[in-house]
Structure 1
């Protein structure tokens, strides 16, 4: 298991993240639950800020699935903010631009991943369309 380093630069709550509105206690079926614009494809650096920016109602994320082709190498488990998170990779082309977050007993959330090198206007448009 690898310890995720404390984030440098933006704080963990500065995730560039937009989430679709959810009605309390009603989970609507949707393909994408929001959009995330990481600053790089380095999971060890980016995940603390993503997890820190999620709503408390999503609970403890214990598993994350990413497309293996886009992200830098990372261990199968990370310790982030005193929580163990399992990382899995997929090469499914349908999941190429998404990250899947799993919280046992609470749900699954799929986020569109905006490329880190996207221009701010392009990223904003992608994120707005998603939510």
Structure 2
């Protein structure tokens, strides 16, 4: 497995709506907070729509962490609606999970549905 850290800014891409399902507030604490189904394995293209959607619900998302086994290129920062989203990776993290952090509300864990999954 090879992981590439992309340090070159990419051109802006038109945002497609995030495919996202969040668990109800009545769900037990410590479980997944929802599921995200990206269109591709390109974090640079996928994270802006996800963060923009969640910024409205959860407050500004500031950090994301992923397992590098599922993402061929992991940018250090991604521009999202006027701010930067810092991206980190940990091999110990569940490869099918995305962890989101916000200064105002805390942490959320999303199950990542592989983009190649049939509807």
TM normalised by structure 1 equals 0.75
1:31-42 correspondence to structure 2 within 5 Å:
31-42=31-42
Aligned match of 1:125: none
- Show CA shifts across 1:24-75 (max 9, x none): xxx9513200000001110000001111222624111100001111112133
Size of the alignment, in residue pairs? 113
Contact 1:76 1:87 (8 Å CA) reproduced: yes
Aligned match of 2:3: none
TM normalised by structure 2 equals 0.82
Q: Which residue among 15, 22, 25 is the counterpart of 1:19?
A: 22
1:39-118 correspondence to structure 2 within 5 Å:
39-54=39-54, 56-92=56-92, 95-118=94-117
Following TM superposition, by how much is the alpha carbon of 1:83 offset from its aligned partner in structure 2, in angstroms?
Answer: 1.0
Following TM superposition, by how much is the alpha carbon of 1:21 offset from its aligned partner in structure 2, in angstroms?
Answer: 1.4
Contact 2:48 2:78 (8 Å CA) reproduced: no
Q: Which residue among 1, 7, 11 is the counterpart of 2:13?
A: 7
Residues 1:2 and 1:34: Cα distance change in structure 2 (over 3 Å): farther
CA distance in structure 1 between the aligned counterparts of 2:23 and 2:104, rounded to whole angstroms: 20
Unmatched 5+ stretches in structure 2: 1-6
Unmatched 5+ stretches in structure 1: 121-131
